Structure 1
Amino acid sequence: MFGDSSSGVERSVEQTLGHLRAIDTASTATDQPLTLEDLYRQQRMRMVRLAILLVDEPATAEDVVQEAFTGLYRNWSGLRDAKAAIGYLRTAVVNGSRSVLRRRKTAREYQPPHQADARSAESLAMLTAEHQAVVAALGELPPRQREVLVLRYYGNLTEAEISEATGVSKGTVKSTASRGLEALQKVMRSH
């Protein structure tokens, strides 16, 4: 189903996450949001999808996004403009997702490991079998590699924007993306 080259895997990741991005972009107004309510209406589902790709659980993703919007509300008066608000939300979602994953790891240390909940049928219904395989393989990557690939191909962010959202250097973003694509290729070959 997939080529043996890493560029084939990169193409599959780009197509899958690009497809999801296109769905979100089609439902987002082109004007910059002026109010917190506008921002919530225009960005909420996009942020939820971003969180789902990072934490692999819709209910938890909703909680992460709700916390991000709550933090944005508390800091609304200190933001430069609506574009800064979107960056704030993206960073808050990434950081909230990291916290969730850390708590999961801590919980697993005290309990027997468990399988992550299967994705809902609705969340993958619009994806082809190849796209579903890519999303499933993303779930098996280490958190930082998954973050970088999701922000790059779903978020359509530059290395600089990913660096800002994740708090790591641009060089680390670039090397993590490269290692992530290689790891993704290995996971997809093994299935």
Structure 2
Amino acid sequence: MQVTGRNSDEQGVERTVERTLGHLRTLDREPAAASGPLTLEDLYRQHRMRLVRLAILLVDDAATAEDVVQEAFTGLYRHWSRLRDSAAAVGYLRTAVVNGSRSVLRRRKTAREYTPPHATTARSAESLAMLTAEHQAVVTALSQLPPRQREVLVLRYYGGLTEAEIASATGISRGTVKSTASRALDSLQKIMTNS
């Protein structure tokens, strides 16, 4: 389905994403139903890896994805006696993985946005006085960027970190690091041009 008004790059990216996720969906087809009632062990053996791949797509971190799936199975174990139909267990697990992934992402966001009490974000007058006018403009423009964009640029150009190291330090993917850096540089250019 093509939407008018979008450029070919966006359409190409969309096709690539659709092709990739479609391929993963094919690889992760539901296993054939076992005869007789399913046990928790059967569910774990048959569905664990598919649920981990789902969680990885949502949280973009394999270790965290494993934890999310483990929590989903733990929750199912706690409620197993109240489960009316073992076939509903797969739906329960899928929903638990999605909700657990959302919780992880919310906690990440909260942790990134936390500013300790009495933390100052302003630079001292002495440190700014030692900078040239051009450098002062850059520092001022940096302070106007959203926190994630500022983090990526500071870690890249001040910290000298690679994309992989920035991704690890901030808890975002390498692709997000690249796109965030690109957007941040564009924003910096606009801010500095309008100043």
TM-score bracket relative to the smaller structure: 0.5 to 0.7
Report if the CA contact (8 A) 1:29-1:42 is conserved: yes
Does residue 95 (structure 1) correspond to residue 99 (structure 2)? The answer is yes
Question: Larger C-alpha radius of gyration, 1 or 2?
Answer: 2
Per the alignment, do residues 83 and 13 of structure 1 end up closer, same or farther by CA in structure 2, a change over 3 Å counting? farther
Can you list the C-alpha shifts for 1:132-187, whole angstroms capped at 9, x where unaligned? xxx976x68xxxxxxxxxxxxxxxxxxxxxxxxxxxxxxxxxxxxxxxxxxxxxx9
Letter aligned with residue 105 of structure 2: L
Give the TM-score normalised by structure 2.
0.53
1:4 aligns to what? 8
Structure 1 partner of 2:161: none
* Matching residue of 2:33: 31
Q: Which runs of 5+ in 1 are unaligned?
A: 119-134, 141-186
Bigger relative contact order (CA 8 A; separation at least 6): 1
What residue number does 2:168 align with?
117
Contact 1:57 1:117 in 2 (8 A): no
Does structure 1 residue 53 correspond to structure 2 residue 57?
Answer: yes
Runs of 5+ unmatched residues, structure 2:
1-6, 116-146, 153-165, 178-182, 184-195
Give TM-score scaled by structure 1 length. 0.54
Task: Confirm or deny: 8 A CA contact 2:68 2:97 kept in the other structure.
Answer: yes
Residue 6 of structure 1: CA displacement? 6.0
| Aligned: 1:22 with 2:26 | yes
Q: 1:12 to 1:83 in 2, by over 3 A?
A: farther
How far the C-alpha of 1:20 sits from its partner, in A, is 1.3
Q: Which amino acid aligns with 2:104?
A: V
Contact 1:72 1:85 in 2 (8 A): yes
1:107 maps to amino acid? A
Selected match of 1:105 from 106, 109, 127: 109
SS of equivalent residue, structure 1 residue 20:
helix
Q: What is the rounded CA distance, in whole Å, between the counterparts of 2:106 and 2:12 in structure 1?
A: 32
Letter in 1 for 2:33: D
In structure 2, the partner of 1:84 is: 88
Find the aligned partners of 2:89 and 2:57 in 1 and give their Cα distance: 21
Instruction: Give the total of aligned pairs.
Output: 121
% identical equivalent positions: 71
- Looking at structure 1, the residues matched to 63 and 10 of structure 2 have their Cα atoms a distance apart, in angstroms, of 33
Q: Which secondary structure state, in structure 2, belongs to the residue aligned with residue 80 of structure 1?
A: coil
Letter in 2 for 1:31: A
RMSD: 3.1
